[in-house]
Structure 1
Amino acid sequence: MVDDDGSRVLADALMADAERAGRGRLRIFLGAAPGVGKTYAMLQAARAAMAAGRDVAVGVVETHGRPETEALLTGLEIIPRKGIAYRGRLIPEFDLDAALKRRPQLLLVDEYAHSNVPGSRHPKRWRDVQDCLKAGIDVWTTMNVQHVESLNDVVQRITGVRVRETVPDSRIEAVDEIVLVDLPSDELIRRLGEGKVYVEDTATRAMQSFFRPNNLTALRELALRQVASRVDSELIERMQGSAIEGPWPAGERLLVAIGGDGAAEGLVREAKRLADLLGAHWFAVTIDRPGHQWSDEQRRCIDAAMKMAADLGAQAVNLVGNDLPGTILKFARVQNVTQIVVGKARRLGFAARMTALLPRATLAHALVGRAEGIAVHVLTSAPSAFVPRRLVRPRPGPVGGYLVAAACVLLATLGGVSVGHIVDLPNLSMLYLLAVVIPAIRYGVLPAIFASVLSFLAYNLVFIQPTGTLTIARPHEFLALAIFLIIAVSMATLAGRLREQNRSAVRRTRAARRLYQVTRRLSALPDPESVGAAAVYEVNAAMERTTILLGPDGDGGLSIVAAWPPEDRLDMPSRMAALWAFEHDEPAGAGTETLPGCNWLFRPLNADGRRVGVLGIEHDDTAPPLDGEAQMLLQTLGEQVAAALHRARLSTEIRDAKAEAETERIRNTLLASISHDFRTPLSSILGSATSLLDYGSHMDSATQADLLGQIRDEAGHLDGMVRNLLAITRLEAGSLDLRRDWVDIADILNRAVAAARRRGAVQTMMVCVPPGLPLAYADQSLLEQAVGNVLGNALRHAGESAQIVLQAAQEGRDIVMSITDDGPGVAPDMAERIFDKFVSGGATRTADGSESAGLGLAIARGVMQAHGGNATLAPAAAGTTGARFLLRMPIDGRVPTP
């Protein structure tokens, strides 16, 4: 439906232009019949294009031995054909891969409708051409009008020849340019007689059948109409693309109803021609009735017709409903359909007379009677094309169902005999109706009809006079018996149909529940790997076929993400089909027109405009083919899987981005934090060394010794910072190697105080260790570093006048070291994260205004934890200020079990 102002039409035209922008252009040289000179005209135009500077290559050209055509190939680059083995012979075919690798500006590919040898990438050459167009290569090709799919049956009626190689109308409508190559009928027949089209014997037969003047005239008219239609389409496209105003009223919309008879494909072609004449958007619909099944032959007819309709440009829709005309008309009114096309088989003899007596017995008559405001076209098919419409094909049901039906009838008979003396005869039939309903509800239509027939016979034999025979003495009893049989069969049918509808509703509910479960399960998974594993399991459970999921591997190929049952390899044809489906965003493999010999069906997975993978199900010869409902379920499952994969990958990318941002933040913080700590001692070392070099000869020994001492102290400070960086790196990597030995804790504390004094500490520091404190089994160097870091933190933040006390004591099997100062202490909001990296007590600035890297306490905690202990901040004693840090570790070096 088009908006009144035509903006929708203009938008569609602009989008179509945008889609064609990156594609190659396709030109078809169209002829009415073989021999009119299509290939010759194409080669002449190609030589002119090459002379104008275009890069031209010949993909495939069939000269049919004509010298004048072969002469035009001279000077043109010819891409070698690829030999494909078929039935013991090597048949040369167009080499698509070589053409894509060569990538000329213009490629010549003769015979657009040609069928490729089995084993080729595509069964049809026009699909090869589509790949070239997608690669941005301009293609020129040739074809005859009889190869147009929608004209196929018309050509057969005109010429009596059935053409097997056809091209979908949708592919012809997408052509950028059509060049008509025409030749008068008499001239073509003369050329045929001279052997310029076929060899002598073939030419004689052709003139007697296909190449008759009347046939050629009709074919020329078809070709002219095809080109005229294309010219009209080009005019409309140009007007839309240029935003030329004009009357753009809502056009016609057409619907064709497809049934399971042999005339379905012919009906689709007629609908296509009518849609072209009307310039109408059209729908092809088929209806599934709950409780009713198509036969295998009818299902094949319907699937083939629906596929043809989709190829011809129709929107294929599968509807569900019991009321066929009502369902069609409801859909038609929702979609603003103005024309309905429906088929009606022409019957002969008695069937025709009965149809005449029942004017509303067919779908066509029902539509005509109920389609108010909608035109209905009824197309009659030949009797030979009619396949009996077994729309209702109840399931036979289990043998037990017929036994139950017989038992119900027997019980009804016994009940009737027992109450026959107190119940009127007509009322006894109610018992038999109950005997019909029970098997209908439990086992379906056929067991119920079987019960109806048994009830009819039992009722007649036991209760109708004379009993014991099928003879009926009184006419009114015959009428009652006949009515009983009709009612019983009707009830059986209705009850069975209700049962099948209920079962169909249960199946659909189960499918909806499975989709809900799949969506819910996949939405809760955090990463693509778990999503892939769950997805293949769920699709396998729904489709009952081996399922595989492939994703891009980063090298332009696909790798297996998950499979159920587990599968870790695919053969080369299957990998090619999967890659083709991923790259071209179209299904490939079994049941498609791309690599149909593959044992898998692959569907591309797209989400938010991004290709996320390929979902494949294995073809199973023992299982029924995927019908329309199964295909729809597979498509819906694929969409859910694609959305879940896309969400999981986005979540992973977000996590990675956050981790990268956090890493960058930490790196910047580290550089900013240590830059001052490194710069200060380096500046002091540089200044002292410069003074010694420039003025050392004029200095006394005491001054020189002082400068050298400063260099030593600042170098030691740098060494401590480097050791801290190395330690935190090893702690983060989990590679801290402890070199344990028995060490004296008092010695550790005194060494820390001495090292602080050497670095210029002026605060009062006291070491208090009780006598008899046992030795600890620890890494002396790392323990000194941990204690030194905590002491250094106290020295930086407590101030120059602070008093710092270092103590050690035994608590059970642990040794606890404490470093206490009387400085300003730690702010309450910092207590929880004082041991984190790049955090220093109270702020990132020390008491003297300098900056600290904030790694010392984090290293101290890491070292103590590596020894099986911990580092904590203890509350200050009552009435005091300052900070008190505790370093706890086991005496014997044991690591407690969690």
Structure 2
Amino acid sequence: MAQMDKHSDRRPDPDALLALTDNESRGKLRVFLGAAPGVGKTFAMLSKARALKNDGVDVVIGLVETHGRDETEALTEGLEILPRRKIEYRGRTIEEFDIDAALARRPKLIVVDELAHTNAPDSRHPKRWQDVEELLGAGIDVWTALNIQHLESLADVVSRITGVLVRETVPDLVFQEASDVILVDITPDELLQRLKEGKVYVPETAKRATQNFFTPGNLTALRELALRRTADRVDDQMVDYLRQNAIEGPWATSERLLVCVGGVASAELLVRAAARLATGLNAPWIALHVEPRGQEEINPERAKLVDDALALAERLGGEAERRSGYDLAGEVLQFARQENITQIVVGRSRAGFINRILRWSLNEEIVRRSNDIAVYVVTESPAPQVVAQRPWPRLSRAKLAIGMSASALSVGVTVGAAHFLDSWLRLPNLSMIFLIPVIFCAVRFGIYPATAASILSFLAFDFFFVDPRYEFTISQPHEFFSLIVFLAVAFVTAMLASRLRKQTLAMGARMQAAQSMFDFSRKLSGAAKLDDVLWAAAVHAQKALQAKCIVLLRPNDGELNIYAAWPPVDLLDAGEAGAARWTLEKSEPAGWRTGTLPNVRFQFRPMVTPRGVVGVCGIEPKIANEPLSPQDEGMLTSILEQTAIAIDRSLLVSDSVKAAALEENEKLRTMLLASLSHDLRTPLASITGAVTSLLQLGEKIPPPDRRDLLVSIEEEAARLSRFVANLLDMSRIESGALAPRRELVDIAEIARSAVERCKKAFPKQAITISIARDLPLIRGDANLLGQVLFNLLDNAHKYGDDSNAIIHARRDGADIVVSVTDEGPGIKPADLERIFEKFYRGGRPDGRKAGTGLGLSICRGLIEAMGGTILAQSPAIRRRGTRIVLRFPIPEQAAGGVAK
């Protein structure tokens, strides 16, 4: 019967049931989650959508971004696609998801890609996830895709990992309320291979991406975040199910361990035992230290044992947590239930007989009260040596003397005040007045003076105000009882006020330390140069720790040198230099109070980043005989970690700049050598062969063949001349020595002159001229503009497969537009901008390359120098060909003048 009553009290969580009821009326959201772009989220989403469509489900595509991927575009065929809403913004037409059309169509399922997208201005919602929320509220199921870096809680983590600022985010609540989360996952190697094959970005963009965001380390970290977040989502769903069905926790969906750490010598042994147990169970684990509240001022040696144990737990793969409370066992069990802990690891109890009777043994209390959590007691460790902890804080003799004097003086003042009140007001009970000196001494001087004040108040009240007065005698029993109650109240008040004082002081110290670290972080974030970072670290460490601080680096594997020191330090002696080198090479502390060269004045700590030790920081404490306090240790660790990250960031920026410059120089050098070796060797070989034939055979060669050889020599010499002229023009453009004339010129006359020149150079090339009537004059350099048109016709000859070339000129508003079009195979869309780069000889779909790669680059330089613009379009005619478009503004003084 008792068992039935016990189970009858279990009721489903009302909030969980309410959320379940609300979800019944809403549409269902399915999120396809990926670690990075290109893993195949949209492909997987469309594949499943097509399968549902084939099963007869009403599926509509609201918006899908295929990014030019043919496989993804093929999946959209056969699915209804809603038209996009067009918005004019800053002279551009932006196409956005039309939520009104989706609500009017009201399908069973709608696919809306890129959940983190920011909508154009004047949209109903600023974010696309808000559009999705409206669709869900209308009862429409939605499928969408999301990358892990766009989750709001992880955006800063991803920014620190990748160095890329995440601007578009989605609230975690949207992700948590999704009905289904499907993880689309591939390995970093597969994703990098897709990137190389051009399945994610165009080749040039893909190359830049592999150097920045798409690195193996970044992809591995993002993949781990995605896997962990998906696992957390599954845990959340399990918890919701258990709450909805009134199943009490802890919910052992997986093992989770908690080890209790105290200030004992065996704490590290206990942590290692917990780590071995967690490894065997393949379970996550947490090391927890609970400090008795009101006893924050603890023994430094005990605090060091706790810090070492928690640091060891983190090194072994666990988490470290600190809590404080009055009920230590209750605090441990509450934390365990909050973290869904299934096993608690504790050490063997060493409490004495009295403590066991009074239930002051923490371990036995945990075992007694943990009805639903298993407790694992480690008994194999040796007997722990408990560091003595005084129940009362230590006080110096001077402070103690001042406090005792203050207690006596405050009690004396209270006696005088009580006499005054008693003579004038005749109060029935003056005992409460004597609590004032107790509270005053507790708040101002601590527990010792407060205790003395309570005893003195007890004696003074008995001597001066209890009959018979001026004797330590009590005549009435009720007065004796009142005095005992007064003494107890005074003691309790003293303890509570003293504890409040300690907590206030500790909180103030923590706030000051937090503010100091915040200021330091802000300085580091604003420091762009390496020297600024190092000096900020040295000055802040000296100010926070009241100790000399030096920072040493070894640039380019050279000597370890001092880069910053405050107060200034010029040189280190041999022992200090040796300790610093040891720290750098071994990545462990050396020097003062360590196992390596402990007699030197500095203690050197490594500054470690994922790529290794980037520097060494040396600290000379103000008091050489005392170790750093736990607070100073924590402060120093934080300073070193942040400084190491800032140093690594500065070095990476410097290295990336140098690497980019070297790569660009090497690329240009390779292109130049390849171009020179090919384009000089070919005409020279033709000229040499023709001249050799003429010299050796002479009159034996028939006149027609001799003429052909001479024409070949002339053509190849002209080709060499054009090549050398292009090199000279490019050098003039890059050096800034080009100064084109700005005269009014006739574009029709220049075009005809360029065509006549091309007919001599390429007699087989067919060229058509189409010049509009009454074209205004433009401002430019006739010679340079003629060179541009010749280069464009030369380019059409090389890449147009001897097809017809067309020169067309017309007026377009306030501009003159001149275009040169060929009917060749055209240019790949990804190369429409790259063809204007120096030495770039690509772009044809058939992969054929010709020329030096300088012609179009020279054309851009000359056109821009004359104030015009140039761009490429492909396809141009009947899905073939290339059109190079030149655009020149019409000057005001020439607006009325026209070409003849």
Indicate the TM-score class for this superposition, using the shorter chain for normalisation.
0.3 to 0.5
The TM-score, its normalising length taken from structure 2, stands at 0.47
Greater radius of gyration (CA): 1
The TM-score, its normalising length taken from structure 1, stands at 0.47
